[in-house]
Amino acid sequence: MNDNEIIGLYWERKETAITASADKYGSYCHSISYNILHNNEDAEECVNDTWLGAWKSMPPHRPERLSAFFGKITRNLSLNRFKKYSAEKRGYGQTELVLSELEDCISDNTSVEQIVDEQILVQSLNDFLYVQPEQKRNIFIRRYWYLYPIKDIAAAYGISESKVASLLFRMRNDLKVHFEKEGIHL
């Protein structure tokens, strides 16, 4: 079943939308959640909550890319669940580590001005990633969107962990400089 048909099922309020979503995107969403939580049961709960979140938001929202829509819901649910657990107890420190790596680039303090400027920040980040070579961009996204451990990224690309860590360090510094050139100070 294609994405437009699945979206149509949500809009028609047919429960088969959830089954179709789970069949097509269940393992994708589970991998996102598992990379954050490192617990199969919690990941499954977040994936199930993803379908509920999609049910509540369609209609009126009609996503352009269903995979990104489900991925974002799953990621947000998983990060919220992660906040409930200590890093040592459930998250094995991976999520906290990734977020701490980015803290120099992106602040976690939210103000009205930052909310208003969020679109500018997102566009600037997208512009930064767009000009990166495909491998660097994909490594950055695997680390900071999907929260893959550095060792898994290194294995996927056949490079050393130190090379991945070094590449990510340079990209974070380049991103900070890019933000400053764009007039974004976090």
How high is the pLDDT of residue 90? 44
How high is the pLDDT of residue 116? 55
pLDDT digits (tens, 9 = 90+) for 83-97: 776 544 544 556 666
Which residue would you say has higher pLDDT here, 86 or 73? 73
How high is the pLDDT of residue 54? 93
How high is the pLDDT of residue 183? 81
How high is the pLDDT of residue 180? 87
Nearest to 94 by CA among 40, 42, 136, 39: 39
Nearest to 18 by CA among 54, 68, 63, 45: 54
State how far the Cα of 53 lies from the Cα of 49, in Å rounded to an integer.
6
Q: Are residues 61 and 102 in the same domain?
A: no
Judging by beta carbons within 10 Å of its beta carbon (0-12, 13-18, 19+), is residue 32 exposed, middle or buried? Answer: buried
Number of domains, the chain: 2
- Give the domain range for residue 99: 95-181
Mean pLDDT of the chain: 85
Q: Are residues 59 and 128 in the same domain?
A: no
Mean pLDDT for 40-52 is 94
Q: Are residues 7 and 87 in the same domain?
A: yes
pLDDT digits (tens, 9 = 90+) for 146-169: 888 999 999 999 999 999 999 999
Q: Are residues 121 and 165 in the same domain?
A: yes
Structure tokens at 93: 């420190």
- Which single residue is written with the structure tokens 């107890």? 89
Q: Are residues 110 and 174 in the same domain?
A: yes
Q: Read off the pLDDT band of 108 (50, 70, 90).
A: low
Q: Could you tell me the pTM of the whole model? A: 0.66
